[in-house]
């Protein structure tokens, strides 16, 4: 299957979500398969998304190998996990190049592709450590990045620290512990964590989570523009 056929197939499978794939102004996401040289452009606009052959002045360029795209289409890899990173400069299986930083809708279009690249008419994500990416000291599978809301599933191996740099985020967050044990540092306080806890993180707070066993959690943030 060619790149154009693959992207058009994904669009067809996302028909029920057409209204959610619109943007108030045009933004273009280019896709290049580095081994075959195939190129295409996803054009997001008020009336939905269309696929153009070749690169047509993309605002953001995604690069990957053909087998990476095939694994995504077959459900063997997770697109959002493959692009997840702590910093844009980090290398991941899918490269991201911001070509037109003046288009403020381009990043929103990129976030929208998280939904678009889930294959199947019924959208399902498998939450398994081997499918997760690498970011912020843990292994996330992004679930939703939409209108200031961000949700991701995280796996931490024993001994790993979430947010090892101690970054302070300007938006509120919520961490829901699904399983595992460890410690959460929040500013000057510490809290033992276990399954069944939901912990709120205020804006601009130093927060780190250390896993004493393998940990699975849901990370939720809002007002994160």
pLDDT at 220 over 90: yes
Q: Is the pTM of this model over 0.85?
A: yes
CA distance 165 to 154: 17
pLDDT at 204 over 90: yes
- Please, what is the Cα angle at 154 between 118 and 115, to 5 degrees? 20
CA distance 66 to 25: 30
CA distance 111 to 103: 14
Nearest to 179 by CA among 160, 167, 196: 196
Nearest to 219 by CA among 158, 159, 109, 140: 140
Q: Which residues pair with 61 in a beta bridge?
A: 30, 97
Fold of 3-116: Nonspecific Lipid-transfer Protein; Chain A (3.30.1050)
Q: What is the pLDDT of residues 65-77, one digit of tens each?
A: 999 999 999 999 9
Nearest to 112 by CA among 18, 39, 219: 18
Burial of 23 (0-12, 13-18, 19+ CB in 10 A): middle
Averaged pLDDT score across all residues of the chain = 94
Fold of 129-221: Jelly Rolls (2.60.120)
Domain ranges of the chain: 3-116, 129-221
Q: What is the pLDDT of residues 76-107, one digit of tens each?
A: 999 999 998 766 667 789 999 999 999 999 99
CA distance 132 to 181: 20
Q: What is the pLDDT of residues 14-65, one digit of tens each?
A: 999 988 899 999 999 999 999 999 999 999 999 989 999 999 999 999 999 9
């Amino acid at each position: 299957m060619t790149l154009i056929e693959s992207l058009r197939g994904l669009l067809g499978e996302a028909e029920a979500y057409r209204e959610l794939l619109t943007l108030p102004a045009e933004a273009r996401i280019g896709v290049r398969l580095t081994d075959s040289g195939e190129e295409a452009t996803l054009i997001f606009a008020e009336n939905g998304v269309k696929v153009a052959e070749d690169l047509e002045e993309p605002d953001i360029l995604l690069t990957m190998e053909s087998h990476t795209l095939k694994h995504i289409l077959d459900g063997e890899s997770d697109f959002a996990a493959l692009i997840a990173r702590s910093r844009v400069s980090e290398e991941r299986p899918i490269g991201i190049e911001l070509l037109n930083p003046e288009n403020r809708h381009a990043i929103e279009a990129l976030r929208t592709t998280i939904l678009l690249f889930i294959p199947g008419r019924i959208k399902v994500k498998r939450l398994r450590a081997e499918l997760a990416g690498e970011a912020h000291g843990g292994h996330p599978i992004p679930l939703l990045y939409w209108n200031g809301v961000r949700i991701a599933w995280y796996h931490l191996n024993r001994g790993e620290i979430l947010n090892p740099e101690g970054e302070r985020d300007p938006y509120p967050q919520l961490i829901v512990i699904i399983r595992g044990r460890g410690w959460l540092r929040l500013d000057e306080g510490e809290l033992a964590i276990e399954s069944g806890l939901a912990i709120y993180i205020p804006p601009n707070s130093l927060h780190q989570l250390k896993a004493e066993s393998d940990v699975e959690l849901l990370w939720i943030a809002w007002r994160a523009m």
